[in-house]
Amino acid sequence: MLTTIERQREADFRRLPILRDYVATMLEDLQFTEADEACGEGREERDTGTIYTLPGETFARCLADVERFASECAADIEAAQELVPGEEGLRYAHGRYMDSDRIGSTLWLARAGSGVTFTDDGNAPCLERLAEWARANSIESPYFGDDGKVYF
């Protein structure tokens, strides 16, 4: 049985499919960052939780960011999803389409400054505009609060 929060988040994920992988990639990226920073040091492993257990304000921030991206870039997102791997605009994709999961994940990585961006697999104008939006709207890194939960 899903909790009220889980049901609401599932509704948000259905409404904005990009959101699920945006949040999941944020949590995974935080785990990798923590491991890199602790390289060689003993540290207590912290669990970032799940896309369902983020504090409300952290989830609300992710939701608002993805809603803004989806609104401001709707035409480019749609065009990116129509690109065919191996064709000119998505020539390096090796069979991988720009689906909602991939767009959400790439959005987080591009905004966080990881070096991954929308134009890694091709140079379609829609991908260039999505990459520019991500560069212009970078985001601060999440962190673990004293309570062990993830915040911005």
Give the phi and the psi of residue 73 in degrees, each rounded to 5: -120, 20
Two tokens, residue 10? 């599932």
Q: In the chain, what are the domain boundaries? A: 17-38+54-145
Please check whether residue 98 is in contact with residue 78, taking contact to mean a CB–CB distance below 8 angstroms. Answer: no
Whole-model pTM: value is 0.89
Q: What is the pLDDT of residues 3-62, one digit of tens each?
A: 999 999 999 999 999 999 999 999 999 887 765 555 545 555 667 788 888 999 999 999
Q: Where are the beta strands (DSSP E) in the chain?
A: 143-144, 150-151
Q: Is the pLDDT of residue 146 over 60?
A: yes
What pLDDT digit, counting tens, does each position of 100-138 carry?
A: 999 999 999 999 999 999 999 999 999 999 999 999 999
Nearest to 21 by CA among 80, 108, 98, 82: 108
Any alpha helices (H) in 50-94, and if so which ranges? 56-72, 74-82
Please count the other Cβ atoms lying within 10 Å of the Cβ belonging to residue 29.
19
Structure confidence by residue, pLDDT tens digits, 61-79: 999 999 999 999 999 999 9
Rounded to whole angstroms, the Cα distance separating 24 from 22 reads 6
